[in-house]
Amino acid sequence: MLSSPHRNPWLPHLPHSSGCDPYYDWLMHVGSLTARIRSRCSDFRVRVIEQGRLVPFHDERRPLGLRRDASAWVREVVLMSGDVPLVFAHTVLPARHARGTWRLLAGLGTKPLGELLFTDPLITREALRYARLDARYAMHARARTATGVDADVLWGRRSLFRRDGRAILVSEVFLPAILELPE
């Protein structure tokens, strides 16, 4: 996997005058993204891009307490409306947590992770962080490659989810087509 540059793009707030206005409501939404998308399209589906043990991106190690050379269980999917990609989602689970609390993740297949995260009362979500992603960042390259979307800038958010003190990191990159969903 590509690694991001050393400057971490993920901020605890959206930068002013950043061009994120069209995506603002999507970025700030704290409920289930899956449920919100499903309520706006009748042909929602999840396309699995990659799933397995990989080295996480540089900026994902610190939030998860991973060593520089540690691998993790990584799942990349695209949330779709029919054949139209809406969101590129990238989840990182430290390998040491894959057998316990989060063991169900490996068997998700094309089921959305959001259904698990927002229906289990023992799972808590930490604060959202936001990023303006461009060609300098590996997450931007992965989203473009996985979806075929040609955009110089993509907006994303990420947060840690915890269960029994064990964390997973979920990043969501919003693709331009999400702005075309009906209200």
Q: How confident is the model at residue 103 (pLDDT cuts 50, 70, 90)?
A: confident
C-alpha torsion sign, points 85, 89, 95, 101: negative
Distance, in Å, from the CA atom of 39 to the CA atom of 182, rounded to the nearest integer, reads 9
Q: How confident is the model at residue 71 (pLDDT cuts 50, 70, 90)?
A: confident
Residue 1 to residues 8, 34, 47: CA-CA distances in angstroms? Answer: 17, 26, 19
Check residue 68 and give its pLDDT.
86
Instruction: Please give the backbone phi and psi of residue 163, each rounded to the nearest 5 degrees, phi first.
Output: -145, 125
Name, in order, each residue with C-beta under 8 angstroms of 123's C-beta and a sequence gap of 6 or more: 116, 117, 161, 162, 163
Q: What is the pTM of this model?
A: 0.92
Q: Is the pLDDT of residue 49 over 60?
A: yes
Q: For 150-177, what is each residue's pLDDT tens digit?
A: 999 999 999 999 998 899 999 999 999 9
Q: Coil, strand or helix: which one is 85?
A: strand
* Helix (H), strand (E) at residue 35: helix 33-38
User: What pLDDT is recorded for position 8?
Assistant: 79
Q: What DSSP designation does 178 have?
A: G
Identify the pLDDT of residue 26. Answer: 96
What's the whole-number mean pLDDT along residues 66-83? 93
- Residue 137 pLDDT more than 90? yes
Q: Domain 21-180 in CATH: superfamily?
A: Chorismate lyase-like (3.40.1410.10)
Write down the domain spans for the chain. 21-180
pLDDT, residue 9, reads 86
